[in-house]
Amino acid sequence: MGDTYKTVLEPSGPSIFKDRGSKFLGYVFPVESEVEVKRHLAAIKRKYHDARHWCYAYRLGKVQLVERANDDGEPAHSAGIPILNQIKKAGLTDTLVIVVRYFGGVKLGVGGLIRAYRTAAKEVLDNAKIEEKEIREAIRIRFPYAVMNDVMRVLKKYQIPIIQRGGDTEMEMAVGIKPGEKENFLKQLSLLKGMKIL
């Protein structure tokens, strides 16, 4: 995945796919935790409380990926996995896709369900705004004010943003570092007098 990742910029949907009376509504959400996943799912279930199924899949994380797929009562692997595969195909993470199904009275069979859930997920993702972001790990450092100029020089060299700063007798900062630059960055900082990596 390198030092960047792709995710959706904002919620979007519904995409609407119909097959033999059944209606499939696709939604996509940017998410960074399973708590957010549950919140969006609860909201969709409230909005479409009279639907038959609320199937979904999500990917979370930048380096260590967490993937989950849920068929919500549909035959095994006929809904969640086809949705997850569309998220993966688009190369996205921190992304949740929910597909709501209204049953139309005709059974579609496993093949028909896979096609319907895959299509609803693909269509909502095709219309989503996607953004590529840099992966940055937050690191906290503390150092004497006397070495402030040296620290700022190292931050500038690696183009590292300061996320937070403060401190009384010493300066404390949280900075965002790319995983690939972490080792060299920390090595340079450790040469500065009184530097502490928290």
56 plus 9 within the same structural domain? yes
70 plus 22 within the same structural domain? yes
For residue 127, the enclosing domain spans 4-133
pLDDT in tens, 90-129: 999 999 999 999 999 889 999 999 999 999 999 999 999 9
pLDDT in tens, 55-67: 999 999 987 889 9
Of 117, 133, 149, which residue constitutes the final position of a domain? 133
Total domains, the chain: 2
24 plus 58 within the same structural domain? yes
Q: Does the pLDDT at position 1 exceed 60?
A: no
Which CATH number fits the domain that encloses residue 91?
3.30.230.30
Instruction: Return d(Cα 185, Cα 188) in angstroms, integer.
Output: 5
Entry pTM: 0.77
Q: Which of 155, 142, 151 is nearest to 191 (CA)?
A: 151
- If you write DSSP's letter for every residue of 67-113 in order, what string do you get? EEEE-TTSSTTSSHHHHHHHHHHTTB-SEEEEEEEE--SS--HHHHH
